[in-house]
Amino acid sequence: MSNLIIPENPGIFINNKPLFIRKVRVVKKRMEMTIPFETSFGRFSSLSRLFPVIDFETEQGDVFTGTGECPPLDAPWYNYECHRTVEVALGYISSSLTGKPVDLNDGIVAPGNSPVTDIYSFINKYRWIVGHEIAKAGVEGAYWDAIAQMNSVPVSTLFGGTKKKVLAGTSVGLESTIDLFMKKIEHAVEGMKVARIKMKIKPGKDINYIEAVRKKYPEILLQVDANAAYDLFKPTDIALLKELDNYNLTMIEQPGRNDDIMDHSRQLAGLTTPICLDESILNVVHTRQAIELWEQSSDTKKLIINIKPPRVGGFLESLKIAQLCSNNGVSVWCGGMYESALGKTANVHFSSRIEVNLPGDHVSQAPYFKEDIAESPVYENGEITVPEGIGWGLRGSKL
C-alpha cells in the first residue's frame, strides 16, 4: 500500500524563539583540486565554494553566526547552476533576508525587518525565488548551524538523526585506461575499505570497466552512475544497460536525461537492477511522482533516490524526501557535489537519519582540495562518525 502524503514536518526541531537577522555575508573561496575529476560531462581542476554566513540575534541580544555551503560546479554541466548563477541567486536571497532592494543590498538588515522563528518562517522569506536549489541549500545550512549553536546541540539532533555512524562510500571517476581505473578501485577497496564503490560510466566505458572490477572483487557493493550519458530510446544504449543486470549492481544511477523521470520508469522496467534518480529529482513532489510511476510500470523496490541537499534546495526538503521514500519502501542515500569539509559534514548530519539506509558519497580517494576549509569528519573502515560538537561540529575551521 502506498502512502503518497508528503510530510509537512519530517521530524525536525521547531524553533519558537524570535531571531532577528542582522547580517548576511557570502564568503567565496576558489579551491584547487588535488586531482582533476572527469565525468561524462567534463574534466575540472578547481572549484569555487560559496559560504553564506548569517548573524542571528535573539531578543536577549545574543548573536549566533551560522554558516552553510553552496557547492556548485564551475559550469552548468550537472544542472543549470554554476558558481556564477549561485552568486546571482544569493544576491536575491540575501536581499529577501535583509529586506533591502537587491541592487542596494549591503547585507545589513533594514530597520523593522520581521524576525524568523522556525525553518518554515525562514524559508518563507525567499521561497518566491524559482529554482536555484544550490544557493538556497547553503543559506538554509547557515540557519541550522545557528539554531544548533543557540541550543548547544549538533545539527543532527535538530534533524532528528539518531545514528552515531553513517556508512561511507566513494565515487570513482572515469580513467583513460582500465589499468589506471583499477588502481583507484584497489586503493578504495583495500586501502580505504569503503562501504561501497560508485563508479562513473558512459557508453563504451561501461561493460569492460565493470567487468574488471567484478572479476577482482566479486562481492563488493558496487553501483554505477551515468550522469545522463545514455539515450533511453536508442536500442544499443538500452542493450548496454540491460547487460548491466549481469553484474550484481546495487543500482544504475541516472542513465537517461537529466530532466527525465517518466522514461526512466518505463523504458527500463525490463531491467532487474534498481534505477537510482539523481539529477531529475529536485524536490519532494518529483519524488512522489517517481514513486507513482514506478508503482505503475515497475516496482518501487526497483527505485532508489540519491538525495543531495544542495540539489533539492536544502535540508528540510531532503528530510521530506527521505521520509516519503521510507514510507513507501524506497531506499535512499546521500550523494555528494565535491563539497568542502563543511558541506560533507552537513551531509553526514543529514545521513544520521534512519531513513537514509544506503552508503553515501562521503569520502574521496584523496583529499578533493589542496587546502580545505576545515578537517574532514572522522572516517574509518567504511564509516564516518557523526560529529558530536555543537552546530556542524567542524574541527579546525579556517573560514
The stretch near ligand OSB (CB under 6 A) out of 147-155, 292-300, 331-339, 351-359 is 331-339
How many residues in the shown chain lie near Mg ion by CB under 5 A?
3
Q: How far is the CB of 240 from ligand OSB (least distance, A)?
A: 19
What residues have CB less than 8 Å from 171, skipping those under 6 apart? 198, 199, 200, 225, 336, 361, 364
Strands 222-225 and 252-253: parallel
Residue 361 near which of ligand OSB, Mg ion, none (CB within 5-8 Å, type-dependent): ligand OSB
Residue 143 contacts ligand OSB per CB under 6 A:
no
**Binder among 51, 56, 64, 78 for ligand OSB (CB under 6 A):** 78
Site for Mg ion in 188-227 (CB under 5 A): 225
Residue 256 contacts ligand OSB per CB under 6 A:
no
**Residue number with CB closer to ligand OSB (136 or 198):** 198
The CA distance from 303 to 261, in Å, is 11
What residues have CB less than 8 Å from 4, skipping those under 6 apart? 288, 291, 292, 324, 328
Among residues 77, 74, 93, the alpha carbon closest in space to that of 141 is found at 93
Q: How far is the CB of 171 from ligand OSB (least distance, A)?
A: 4
Q: How far is the CB of 248 from ligand OSB (least distance, A)?
A: 21
Task: Return the C-alpha torsion angle 93, 96, 99, 104, nearest 10.
Answer: 50
The CA distance from 258 to 273, in Å, is 19
Residue 278 contacts Mg ion per CB under 5 A:
yes
Strands 379-380 and 331-334: unpaired
The CA distance from 235 to 227, in Å, is 19
Residue 51 near which of Mg ion, ligand OSB, none (CB within 5-8 Å, type-dependent): none
Residue 336 contacts ligand OSB per CB under 6 A:
yes
Residue 221 near which of ligand OSB, Mg ion, none (CB within 5-8 Å, type-dependent): none
The stretch near ligand OSB (CB under 6 A) out of 14-22, 80-88, 179-187, 332-340 is 332-340
**Binder among 133, 145, 278, 355 for ligand OSB (CB under 6 A):** 278
Q: How far is the CB of 78 from ligand OSB (least distance, A)?
A: 4
The CA distance from 144 to 127, in Å, is 17
The residue with its CB nearest to ligand OSB is 336
Site for ligand OSB in 150-209 (CB under 6 A): 171
**Residue number with CB closer to Mg ion (55 or 225):** 225
What residues act catalytically?
Answer: 200, 308
Residue 69 contacts ligand OSB per CB under 6 A:
no
Residue 361 contacts Mg ion per CB under 5 A:
no
**Residue number with CB closer to Mg ion (53 or 213):** 213
Contact 166, 358 (CB under 8 A): no
**Binder among 337, 342, 346, 358 for ligand OSB (CB under 6 A):** 337
Contact 185, 194 (CB under 8 A): no
**Residue number with CB closer to Mg ion (306 or 326):** 306
Site for ligand OSB in 217-246 (CB under 6 A): 225, 227
How is 315-328 classified by DSSP, letter by letter?
Answer: HHHHHHHHHHHHHT
**Residue number with CB closer to ligand OSB (206 or 278):** 278
**How many CB atoms neighbour CB 388 within 10 A?**
11
Among residues 285, 321, 348, 396, the alpha carbon closest in space to that of 141 is found at 348
Q: How far is the CB of 195 from Mg ion (least distance, A)?
A: 17
Reported for 11-15, long-range contacts at CB under 8 A and 24+ positions apart, including other chains, are 11/160, 11/319, 11/323, 12/119, 12/158, 12/159, 12/160, 12/315, 12/316, 12/319, 13/147, 13/151, 13/157, 13/158, 13/159, 13/160, 14/118, 14/119, 15/117, 15/118, 15/119, 15/147, 15/150
**Residues binding Mg ion (CB under 5 A):** 225, 253, 278
**Residues binding ligand OSB (CB under 6 A):** 78, 171, 225, 227, 278, 335-338, 361, 364
